[in-house]
């Protein structure tokens, strides 16, 4: 705790804000398309919050590693929050708050629906999606909104991800890998958006237009072959399958408890 206090002692308390404008943070102005924002420096001017705002579109969730724990810097279009939770905890809360879904069951449902094992599982809601840059539980994993990426720049062995609000994030993955993760996240976003839609759009509408994401070289390149008709399966298939997987999980857990308490074999 003392180390955390020391971390903020350099800046007078009256200069710290719970949700500052990005424009008011010096670390944001120093960065450019060839260098990522120094997240530790950025966090020094932000007061620690207890919870995230899930009702505004999230651009990125970036871990801030302190000596005693890891917290999360949540980037929105014009503001930023510092939340006393690790990124994966926020991701789970995001799904529960916006879609009423459990992450573990959500992941298994996606795997069945897409007929593929999900190693880096993106999170989709009806309004946006986020993809992880590494394993969900890793301390250095960021979650990036693919719909707000306007450029990818190679810098030495890393890639600088540039968002359309001029925020930049450094990642060790190459452009090809990032674009693949963007594609998976866009399809997940499309799946969830279709679940909420009452009116079916034209089958040949592009996913770029359907999802309402930023039109940049990167988003156009990833989505150029995808139209509404290419969204896997059919409307409400996800939630129907989710309930089936959820029921299977309940039965499995019930049997496990019975076996443990009463030694009943199945």
pLDDT tens digits, residue range 43-77? 999 999 999 999 999 999 999 999 899 999 999 99
154 burial (CB, 10 Å; 0-12 / 13-18 / 19+) is: exposed
Q: How far is Cα 86 from Cα 93, in angstroms, rounded to an integer? A: 11
CA distance 60 to 77: 10
User: Which strand ranges, in their side-by-side order, compose the sheet holding 168-171?
Assistant: 149-155, 158-163, 168-171
- Residue-level pLDDT at 1: 40
Domain boundaries, the chain: 2-240
Q: Is 90 exposed, middle or buried (0-12, 13-18, 19+ CB in 10 A)?
A: buried
Closest CA to 67 of 124, 115, 26, 8: 8
Predicted pLDDT at 227: 96
Q: What is the pLDDT of residue 7?
A: 45
What SS3 class is residue 68? coil
**pLDDT 10s digits, 142-183:** 999 999 999 999 988 899 999 999 999 999 999 999 999 999
The 8-class DSSP code of residue 206 comes to: B
Q: What is the pTM of this model?
A: 0.89
Tokens representing residue 229 in the block: 């008709």
At residue 5, the pLDDT reads 46
Q: What is the pLDDT of residue 6?
A: 41
Each of the 266 residues of the chain gets a pLDDT tens digit; together they read 444 444 444 555 556 788 999 999 999 988 888 889 999 999 999 999 999 999 999 999 999 999 899 999 999 999 999 999 999 999 999 999 999 999 999 999 999 998 888 789 999 999 999 999 999 888 789 999 999 999 999 988 899 999 999 999 999 999 999 999 999 999 999 999 999 998 888 999 999 999 999 999 999 999 999 999 999 998 889 999 999 999 998 888 888 877 777 766 55
pLDDT at 33: 80
Helix (H) or strand (E) holding 236: none
Q: What percent of the chain has pLDDT over 70?
A: 92
- What confidence score (pLDDT) does residue 9 get? 46
Residue owning tokens 């308390």? 13
């Amino acid at each position: 705790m003392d180390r955390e206090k020391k971390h903020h002692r350099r800046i007078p308390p009256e200069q710290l804000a719970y949700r500052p404008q990005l424009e008011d943070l010096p670390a944001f102005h120093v960065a450019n398309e060839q260098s990522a924002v120094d997240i530790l420096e950025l966090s020094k001017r932000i007061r620690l919050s207890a919870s995230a705002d899930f009702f505004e579109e999230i651009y990125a969730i970036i871990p801030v590693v302190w000596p005693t724990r890891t917290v999360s810097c949540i980037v929105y279009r014009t503001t930023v929050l510092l939340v006393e939770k690790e990124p994966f905890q926020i991701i789970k809360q995001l799904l529960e708050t916006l879609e009423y879904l459990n992450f573990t069951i959500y992941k298994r449902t996606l795997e069945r629906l897409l007929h593929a094992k999900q190693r880096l599982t993106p999170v989709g809601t009806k309004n946006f999606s986020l993809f992880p840059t590494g394993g969900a539980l890793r301390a250095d994993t960021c979650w990036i909104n693919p719909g707000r990426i306007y450029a990818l720049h190679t810098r030495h062995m890393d890639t600088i991800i540039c968002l359309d609000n001029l925020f930049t994030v450094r990642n060790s993955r190459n452009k090809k890998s990032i674009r693949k993760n963007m594609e998976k996240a866009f399809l997940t976003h499309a799946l969830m958006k279709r679940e909420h839609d009452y009116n079916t759009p034209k089958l040949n509408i592009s996913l770029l237009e359907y999802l309402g994401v930023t039109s940049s070289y990167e988003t156009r390149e990833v989505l150029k072959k995808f139209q509404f008709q290419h969204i896997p399966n059919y409307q409400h298939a996800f939630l129907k399958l989710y309930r089936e997987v959820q029921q299977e999980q309940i039965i499995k857990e019930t049997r496990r408890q019975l076996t443990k308490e009463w030694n009943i074999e199945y």
